[in-house]
Amino acid sequence: MKLEGAATRGTRTGLDLTDPNFWRAGAISTTLVMLVVLAFLSIDSMRVISVGGAHVPRYDVVNQHIGYRYDWSRRADVPVIGGAEPLFGVTLTEAQATALVREGKLVIQSRACMDCHTFFGNGAYYGPDLTKSWLDPAWPQIWMPMTGKPTREEAMVAFLMHPDQYPTWNRRMPNLRLSEREARATVTYLKWMSAIDTNGFPANFGQTHAQQ
């Protein structure tokens, strides 16, 4: 069974659209070309998203103020690294910051945070997205008064250690028995993560942040 046109032309060109071999060659070559392109793009992407790359800051960025504003040339919200603002009032060396952020990641994986929350929009959708949670106005507006803590990071630690004691609505976060050390590491992780350039995700967060 051949297509009418292909049947007559097929005698000259040898092209038969119903021949599996023709499509097999197409499948193999298409796949190989795409894989090669993906390999090059991945090498370039790794350069950009490695720690210290164009979009992902070094871990000791937690010693600095992190701002967030709309960039008209990019047409997207971008993080702005500011002056000194040490976390918990302690300036960390790069090695100390790296160790703390690493422990924060272990907390996030061991407590399966991503099975209630999202990071960069990935994970589960029961709790809010945490990509820019360090910058969120809820800490100064709600949880600092509620926990009676003087700084954002201390309010976050108090909340993370006993989330069931500081509810804000009917969906509450369960107590995952974080030690103080684990809670501090998590806060460090969240501050570092808020400084990652996410091409403007989540939507319109920069405007809210600017109004604070």
| Residue 20 in contact with another protein, rule: CB under 8 A | yes
* Cβ at position 192, least distance to another protein in Å: 9
Give the residue with the Cβ less far from another protein, 129 or 154. 129
Give the residue with the Cβ less far from another protein, 83 or 202. 202
Q: Structure tokens of 194? A: 């808020």
| Residue 153 in contact with another protein, rule: CB under 8 A | no
| Residue 175 in contact with another protein, rule: CB under 8 A | yes
In this chain, which stretch among 4-12, 61-69, 84-92, 114-122 interacts with another protein, using CB under 8 A?
Answer: 114-122
| Residue 51 in contact with another protein, rule: CB under 8 A | yes
Which candidate, 89, 196, 176, 81, places its Cα nearest to that of 133? 196
Please tell me the total number of residues recorded for the chain in this structure.
Answer: 212
Q: Structure tokens of 189? A: 């992780």
| Residue 56 in contact with another protein, rule: CB under 8 A | yes
| Residue 31 in contact with another protein, rule: CB under 8 A | yes
Residues 157-190 as b/e (b if ≥16 CB within 10 A, e otherwise) read bbbbbeeeebeeeeeebeebebeeebbbbbbbbb
Cα 21 to Cα 28, 37, 66, 144, distances in angstroms: 11, 25, 58, 68
In this chain, which stretch among 42-50, 63-71, 87-95, 147-155 interacts with another protein, using CB under 8 A?
Answer: 42-50
Give the residue with the Cβ less far from another protein, 64 or 133. 133
Choice from 85, 109, 140, 165 touching another protein (CB under 8 A): 109
| Residue 11 in contact with another protein, rule: CB under 8 A | no
Choice from 154, 182, 188, 194 touching another protein (CB under 8 A): 182
- Residue 136 gets the label, from left (phi > 0), alpha (psi -120 to 50) or beta, of beta
- Block residue for tokens 């501050």: 191
